Amino acid sequence: MNKDKIAQLLNQLQEELGDADGLDPALSEQLRSATAAIHEALDRDPAVADEQEQPHGMIEQLRDAATQFEDSHPTLTNTVGRIADALSQLGI
Domain positions in the chain are: 3-90
The pLDDT score that the predictor gives to residue 52 is 47
Cα-Cα-Cα-Cα dihedral sign, residues 45, 92, 25, 76 = positive
Confidence at residue 69, expressed as pLDDT on a 0 to 100 scale: 80
How many angstroms separate the CA atoms of 8 and 54, rounded? 21
Q: In terms of pTM, does the model score above 0.75?
A: no
Average pLDDT along the chain: 79
